[in-house]
């Protein structure tokens, strides 16, 4: 009987007894948190993991355990430089990967920022949309030729997509008052829609794409939030939970948070997760717009999985970055 995984499953649980020898995997954001843990468990099970990071010095220090696990598990680990907030860096990284011609069985677009103060990337895009979505949009599309049949793309999204749908008219907040969490929500919805569109374009070649919500985890992702803001949000969540007779919120550990990425990328049935939104090591259900939804309940808003919206975002993204992808 197949093992059923859930919210408390860890990366080691998910990959128990599985060998990834001969598999090549790209993971972005390997200088902290989920990216490091994801790289660690994949390399420890024999995969050749390419880790991408903006700050290579920080990543070198953060991935010592990854290298040790790779050596013990007969895997491999290497670093490449990638600044998702600079399309010049993104294109240079893609060029280097294409020149090396290492085929990929799995790409995990893990890197990202959350609730940043208003700012712009090097190319003039709003920081969160530019980093979380457009940077990965260009990188993944430029290396799509390296993804062999049977491979998968896993985009790290979030329940935070519920804060906002994408805004294709004013993606850079040029005419809209800036709100850090609205901007975060837009970027996370974009991550899901990108997976939907990528899956539609590549499934006929045996390549599938999905988006995952890792859960609530205490990582560096919250570094831009004001002192006490996370605690206040948790208190509000727990107040709502108590009113509904539900248990209080508990943060996941980092191994628990990275488990859904690994499950979707390696273990889950490709047809089941292709073009979908996953959480707690299962496919999330669509929640109707008229149903109130906090940040701890499961589920995904329908607008984040709308194929027409995914196509519209793809076209707008190509226009913004000045590059078309087949």
CB neighbour class for 50 (10 Å; exposed up to 12, middle 13-18, buried from 19): buried
Is 303 among the residues known to form the active site? no
Give the active site residue among 178, 184, 277, 303.
Answer: 184
- In this structure, the strands spanning 277-279 and 282-283 are antiparallel
Q: Residue 315 and residue 323: Cα distance in Å, rounded?
A: 10
In this structure, what DSSP letter does residue 135 have?
A: I
Packing angle between helix 64-72 and helix 33-44, nearest 10 degrees?
Answer: 10
Q: Residue 120 and residue 183: Cα distance in Å, rounded?
A: 12
Catalytic positions, written as ranges: 184
């Amino acid at each position: 009987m197949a093992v059923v995984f859930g919210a408390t499953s860890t990366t080691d649980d998910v990959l128990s007894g599985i060998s990834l020898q001969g598999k090549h995997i790209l993971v972005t954001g390997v200088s902290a948190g989920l990216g490091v843990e994801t790289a660690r468990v994949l390399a420890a099970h024999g995969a050749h993991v390419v880790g991408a990071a903006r700050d290579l010095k920080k990543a070198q220090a953060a991935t010592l355990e990854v290298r040790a696990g790779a050596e013990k598990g007969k895997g491999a680990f290497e670093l490449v430089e990638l600044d998702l907030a600079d399309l010049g860096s993104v294109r240079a990284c893609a060029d280097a990967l294409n020149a090396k011609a290492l085929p990929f069985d799995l790409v995990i677009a893990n890197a990202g920022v959350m609730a940043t103060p208003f700012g712009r990337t090097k190319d003039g895009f709003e920081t969160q949309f530019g980093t979380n979505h457009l940077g990965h949009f260009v990188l993944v599309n430029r290396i799509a030729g390296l993804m062999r049949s049977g491979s998968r793309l896993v985009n790290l999204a979030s329940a935070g997509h519920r804060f906002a749908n994408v805004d294709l008219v004013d993606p850079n907040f040029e005419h809209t008052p800036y709100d850090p969490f609205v901007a975060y929500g837009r970027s996370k919805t974009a991550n899901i829609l990108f997976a939907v569109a990528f899956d539609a374009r590549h499934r006929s070649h045996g390549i599938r794409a999905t988006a995952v919500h890792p859960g609530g985890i205490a990582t560096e992702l919250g570094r831009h939030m004001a002192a006490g803001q996370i605690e206040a949000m948790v208190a509000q969540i727990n107040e709502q939970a108590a009113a509904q007779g539900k248990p209080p919120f508990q943060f996941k550990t980092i191994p628990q948070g990275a488990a859904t990425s690994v499950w979707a990328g390696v273990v889950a049935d490709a047809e089941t997760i292709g073009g979908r939104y996953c959480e707690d090591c299962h496919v999330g259900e669509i929640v109707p717009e008229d149903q109130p939804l906090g940040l701890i309940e499961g589920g995904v808003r329908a607008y984040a999985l709308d194929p027409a919206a995914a196509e519209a975002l793809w076209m707008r993204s190509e226009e913004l970055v000045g590059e078309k992808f087949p």
